[in-house]
Amino acid sequence: MSDPSYKGVAIITGAAEGIGRGIALRLVSDGFDVAINDIPAKIDALERVANEIRTNSSRRAISVPGDVSIESDVKGIVEKVVQELGGLDVMIANAGIAVNKPIADTTVDEWDRLFSVNVRGTFLCYKHAAEIMVKQGRGGRIIGACSIAGKKGIPEAACYSSTKFAIRGLTQSAAQEYGKYGITVNAYAPGAIETQFLGKFDGYHASKSGLKPGEWTEALKGGVALGKNGSPTEVASLVSYLVSKDAHFITGQSILVDGGGLFD
């Protein structure tokens, strides 16, 4: 007998912590079986998330470690998920890294590393997920991780901002290429979401300005309409909608989730 609550299979990259973990937990609660990915160095944290899902849900969860900047890793992840979970309906290309430095201090190696993970990694996830979805012939949802920094460049993070602007272009192009197959392609663009990732930005600004840890993050609240920072739950709520059938007429968009900090 079929399970009426079952929604399909989703891959979430960068899911060992933060926004990726939050998205994985939300999609499980929505009825998806999930494959969660992160780099091999985070396998213990990744397994903790998978075990949390298995303990608290009847949905299936598998760990698929790998480096999204390496094409053979991404291809292998997608193939393993199709083999073990029976297909692919949703790809969440969430994995990303950042560097806080002025342009003058940013090295070519740092520039290349960010682009390899944030842009090439997202491109590879889009490419190999779409290939499977087209073959399956039942449509699908592909979602990338943009940022408020992909809507407006921010100082001392030019490399990071540049990668997030690139994801907007990639998402728009992919949406036009794959729309005829019933595949929508969108991205979420978070503002200040309180995670370890944001904590790294906070630490950078504290070291430069003499602020106490947490003061920079706290000050961000004054620049948004809702007067507060977000959590992974807020981003996961948007993703939950974008992967649903109700969002079938939305594609090519990079949608802000920032509490009203930037209006476009």
Residues 6 or more apart from 10 whose CB is under 8 A from it?
Answer: 24, 27, 32, 33, 34, 35, 88, 89, 90, 91, 92, 243
Residue 229, pLDDT > 60, answer: yes
Confidence of residue 2 (pLDDT cuts 50, 70, 90): low
Q: What is the pLDDT of residues 119-139, one digit of tens each?
A: 999 999 999 999 999 999 999
Task: Please indicate, yes or no, whether residues 119 and 147 belong to a single structural domain of this protein.
Answer: yes
- Residue 1's pLDDT is what? 38
Predicted confidence band at 259 (pLDDT cuts at 50, 70, 90)? very high
Entry field: residues in the chain = 264
DSSP, res 115: I
Residue 220 falls inside a structural domain: yes
- Pairing between strand 61-63 and 32-36? parallel
Residue 3 inside a domain? The answer is: no
The active-site residue out of 42, 151, 160, 188 is: 160
Residues 57 and 92 reside in one and the same domain: yes
Residue 164 designated active-site: yes
In the block, tokens 């891959």 appear at 11
CA distance 113 to 111: 6
For residue range 89-111, what is the model confidence (pLDDT) as tens digits? Answer: 999 999 999 999 999 999 999 99
Confidence of residue 204 (pLDDT cuts 50, 70, 90): confident
- The crossing angle, in degrees rounded to 10, of helices 18-30 and 232-242 is 50
Asked if 160 is an active-site residue, the reply is: yes
Is residue 69 a contact partner of residue 37, using CB atoms and an 8 Å limit? no
For the chain, helix (H) and strand (E) counts, in that order, are 9, 7
Model confidence at 65: pLDDT above 90: yes
Q: Give the residue numbers spanning the domain of 124.
A: 8-193+231-257
Among candidate residues 42, 151, 164, 188, the one labeled active-site is 164
CA–CA separation, 90 and 112 (whole Å): 28
Report pLDDT digits (tens) over 15-53: 999 999 999 999 999 999 999 999 999 999 999 999 999
CATH number of 185's domain: 3.40.50.720
Residues 97 and 222 in one domain: no
pTM of the model: 0.95
Give the number of domains in the chain.
2
